[in-house]
Chain A
């Protein structure tokens, strides 16, 4: 049942994009035209128009639809989609950098994937990143210095991948995957369903649906290069919740500040994640919040009882 839901979700998301989004067999794909990606608070959205050998990137004012500026970038790029509900990404939290992505080869096949980082002020190219293999965009740090990419190892209905980080200042891929240290499993599986990003752009909370396991929330700290996986079913491990999470198309809500963050889905109350800094250790703690009525704020308990051992774990 869940396999069907995951597949249906992926297919529906791709077809929902219509002329705007071109689906990928292994990732949410890219979007051309349509909503592009919007800068929080700035009222500007960035839209890509892919052409055979080049891409036009335009900054569109949301208030009146005027194109404030545009630029031609060599290569075929689009605004990256990060989840199958059509959430787009690419814009740094500070709003200064925009990452566009190309399509790569099918996982396991030869080829390269390209990314380009643009200045949102001039739309000029800041960096170009070319990686052998199959990659897709995942996130970017608020200051635009670190790019988080998904390295696709296997495609199909149950894709396997790992999250990697690319240092844009040093122009190098950082060895090793971004993993939940407590879990220490670098290879992940599942389909990204929906995402919420903290207001400062630091935290990316992504709800993943999986073929034979419970959904989980992947909380990525894009500043500290840390990730946490939280099982959505840790409180209610039943089939109905798993299926509901798989079809959850409602956006996660992210609230909080730099010290405290939470993300959740109002319609599916078991999909909750919260992160906060432990006052004594300054270590970021992530755990799930269950059965809260609404994500209206985070009320962290900054006691030692909330050590990493309290973090709800994703069972495998």
Chain B
């Protein structure tokens, strides 16, 4: 049974610690990445890298081949590239390549996001009350998806929320699997893969007590589906799982070298190996 599940992100609530972890390649949602790989543009030609003094942030456009810094801009405030899963994956660039989202390292009473025009590097700020993290962006950057946490700590529940960038407002209802209906989820976002057109974000969640599941977010239509994986794995083993989306739209779930399940992303039918 599909279930919108449990549990919040590990103990990454302390923002500074999360930031430091992210810089070392650890971290996870609620943390941001400074330096390092940043986040690559959809065409793979440049990567956006954030560097900060604490009070100010440099967002730089670095050529992947050659490492030249083509452009950069100084932003007031502390921002980093959002880390969206515990394997250190980053996100934030829309598939059309026009918008980049940076985030503060969550932990205060408010969470701030910076939406940057990748052509002009002009900044637009989004300030949200409470604990939030970046989740995804629509291919045309019309909608941003954030994760709203019910509170700090490793056991906090959360919900996925959609922000209409053109209307500059948060949609009132969470983005949920309609078959389930519940708005609150629990689990650790372990890894993510995104469809080639940038529309679907498939995130594998691990659960402390229960089976892992894949959260399939349709970023173009503001819809979500939860797909339970029939895998009797403990939490440490669930943390090792990885996703790979094939050209035939089959989503492979791998544990190291072994494929343990396949999800048909058209029907959401799961095949166990």
Q: Which A residues are within 8 Å of any B CB, using their own CB? A: 19-20, 32-36, 44-45, 47, 49, 51, 54, 56, 58, 60-70, 72
Contacts and interface: CB of A to CB of B under 8 A. Distances in A.
Given A33-B72, A49-B60, A65 B53 contact: no
B64 to A, nearest CB: 4
A72 B56 CA distance: 11
B42 to A, nearest CB: 15
A70 B58 CA distance: 11
A61 B68 CA distance: 9
Contacts of B53: 51, 54, 56, 72
B58 A19 contact: no
A47 B66 CA distance: 12
A54 B68 CA distance: 21
A58 B65 CA distance: 16
A157 to B, nearest CB: 31
B64 A49 contact: no
B67 A49 contact: no
Contact of A34 (B34, B38, B68): B68
A47 B61 CA distance: 12
A64 B52 CA distance: 21
* In the complex, the 5 A-B pairs of residues with the closest C-beta atoms, listed nearest first: A33-B69, A67-B35, A62-B67, A60-B67, A65-B62
Contacts of A67: 35-36, 38, 49, 51, 62
Contacts of A69: 35
Contacts of A20: 69
A51 B56 CA distance: 9
Residues of A contacting B: mostly:
strand
A58 B35 contact: yes
B51 A62 contact: no
Contacts of A63: 67
A66 B47 contact: yes
A56 B37 contact: no
A64 B68 contact: no
Nearest to A35: B68
A66 B37 contact: yes
A143 B185 CA distance: 58
27 contacts: A19-B71, A32-B72, A34-B69, A45-B67, A47-B60, A49-B51, A49-B58, A49-B60, A49-B74, A51-B56, A51-B58, A54-B53, A56-B53, A58-B35, A58-B49, A58-B60, A64-B37, A64-B64, A64-B67, A65-B63, A65-B65, A65-B66, A66-B37, A66-B38, A67-B35, A70-B51, A72-B53
Given A34-B70, A49-B51, A51-B58, 15 more contacts: A19-B71, A33-B69, A33-B70, A51-B56, A56-B58, A58-B35, A60-B69, A62-B66, A62-B67, A64-B64, A64-B65, A65-B63, A67-B49, A67-B51, A70-B34
Which of A33, A56, A62, A65 has most chain B Cβ within 10 Å?
A65
A62 B37 CA distance: 12
B62 A60 contact: yes
A32 B68 CA distance: 11
Interface in B112-130: none
A117 B35 CA distance: 22
A65 B67 contact: yes
Given A60-B67, A65-B67, A33 B37 contact: no
Contacts of B63: 65
B216 interface: no
Contacts of A56: 51-53, 58
Which of A56, A62, A67, A69 has most chain B Cβ within 10 Å?
A67
A61 B35 CA distance: 11
A260 to B, nearest CB: 31
Contacts of B46: 65
B60 A45 contact: no
B72 A58 contact: no
A66 B51 contact: no
Interface string B63-107: 111111111101000000000000000000000000000000000
A47 B69 contact: yes
Nearest to B64: A65
Contacts of B67: 44-45, 60-66
A288 B58 CA distance: 46
Contacts of A47: 60, 69
Given A54-B53, A56-B53, A70-B35, A65 B47 contact: yes
A121 to B, nearest CB: 16
Nearest to A18: B71
